[in-house]
């Protein structure tokens, strides 16, 4: 992300949001990794005012959080992975909120 010019940082965020959408039904570990990278990208590009709106990022992440909560697995291991994903989503939203204050 540091090698991406600041005016293009929003493209990385958009691509990651799209990647999360494409993997909505994937293993929670995959989604967790994608959102973890999104978390870092949001932190790095926080100073840049262009790109996806705050609402777009929030709506996308909240939608995935809702899907995860609604799709509770009966398998304990799978459920634990979903919980990790949910925590990463919440942390990413929280950091994004802090970056826009």
Q: What digits encode the pLDDT tens for the residues 7-16? A: 677 788 889 9
- Tell me what the mean pLDDT of segment 48-55 comes to: 61
CB 57 within 8 A of CB 21: no
The yes-or-no verdict on residue 50 having pLDDT over 60 is: no
The yes-or-no verdict on residue 101 having pLDDT over 70 is: no
- Tell me what the mean pLDDT of segment 35-62 comes to: 76
Residue with tokens 């994937």: 26
Residue 44: pLDDT band with limits 50, 70, 90: confident
**Distance from C-alpha of 91 to C-alpha of 4, rounded to nearest angstrom:** 24
């Amino acid at each position: 992300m540091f090698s991406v010019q600041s005016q293009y940082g929003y493209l990385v965020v958009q691509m990651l949001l799209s990647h999360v959408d494409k993997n909505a039904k994937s293993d929670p570990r995959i989604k967790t990794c994608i959102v973890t990278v999104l978390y870092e990208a949001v932190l790095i590009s926080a100073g840049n005012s262009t790109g996806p709106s705050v609402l777009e990022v929030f709506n996308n992440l909240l939608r995935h959080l809702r899907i995860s909560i609604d799709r509770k697995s009966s398998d304990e291991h799978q459920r634990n992975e979903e919980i990790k994903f949910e925590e990463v989503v919440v942390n990413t939203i929280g950091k994004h909120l802090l970056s826009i204050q």
